Each structure stands twice: as structure tokens, then as C-alpha cells.
Amino acid sequence: MKIKPLLFCYFFLGLLFVACQQSKEIVEEINIEKVIDADAEPGLIHTVYFWLNEDVDEASAKSFEDGVWSLEGIPTVKRMFVGPAASTPSRGVVDNSFDYALIVWFDDVAGHDIYQEHPIHLKFVEEQEAKFKRVQVYDNVLQ
């Protein structure tokens, strides 16, 4: 009788091991390899604010986030940050009415221009554009 619980434990651990291996394989398949010079500085910062439509549910918001993160696969993207508005104290100069902000840095304007026409960016716009009611972009060159 004591052998059955032990066999069950081995069986369960075996399933867990297989599931972890399969999960690891999926992560490895979508891993984006980039070499970023730690001393490099951005030449252009591309900041995008998104206000989503009121009817965007949790699943659609998750799809939107996944779409935004897909932009990291564009070769000219050096670093990228995504997140919701912070709940910082209200002041006259603070606008935290947006739902998501995307900050991307490029080496230069040419890298930005490649990003704008890249198939990953075009696919993101095509698939996600119906989810936002407003988009505001600020680009600045750093010197």
C-alpha cells in the first residue's frame, strides 16, 4: 500500500519535469538575442502614450501588452520600457490619464525610421489600433 503513494509522487514529479521542459522550450523559442553596449547612450527617445477604449476588457488589454512587447523584436530598438500610469500625487503638471506608456530608445533618427516601417511595428498597429482611442507621441534627440 505504501508503494502506491510513492509511485504517484514519482509520476507527478515526472509530469512536472516534462511541463517545465516544455515551458522552457517555449521561452527559448521567443527569446530575443540582442547585444547592448552598457556604455552606449540613446540618440533618440521615442515616447508613446496610449489611452485605451472603455470597452477593452482584461483579455484585450493583455493582447495589447503582448503586442507592445513584440516591438522589442525590431533590430533598431536598443532598449524598451512599458508600463501603466503611476499613481503619483496629483499636481497641475502631472498627466497620468493614459493607460500605458511605451519608451523606446534608438541610436539615431534613422533607427527610429526603420522601426516605423518594420513589419513588426506595422503588424502591431494593424492588430491593436482599434483598442486605443488616443495615442500621443513625443520624440526627442539627446545630445
CATH number of the domain residue 59 falls in:
3.30.70.100
Q: How far apart are CA 135 and CA 68, in angstroms?
A: 13
Domain assignment of residue 131, yes or no: yes
Domain assignment of residue 37, yes or no: no
Q: How far apart are CA 47 and CA 49, in angstroms?
A: 7
- Whether the pLDDT of residue 105 is over 60: the answer is yes
**106 compared with 39, residue with greater pLDDT:** 106
Domain assignment of residue 102, yes or no: yes
User: Would you say the pTM of this structure is higher than 0.85?
Assistant: no
Q: pLDDT confidence of 116, banded at 50, 70, 90?
A: very high
Domain assignment of residue 38, yes or no: no
Task: Residue 108: give the domain boundaries.
Answer: 44-141
- Looking at the structure, tell me whether residues 111 and 60 fall in a common domain: yes
Q: Give the total number of structural domains in the chain.
A: 2
Residue 46 burial (CB count, 10 A): 20
Domain assignment of residue 127, yes or no: yes
- Looking at the structure, tell me whether residues 80 and 121 fall in a common domain: yes
Residues 6+ positions from 100 with CB-CB distance below 8 Å: 49, 50, 52, 64, 65, 68, 82, 83, 84, 85
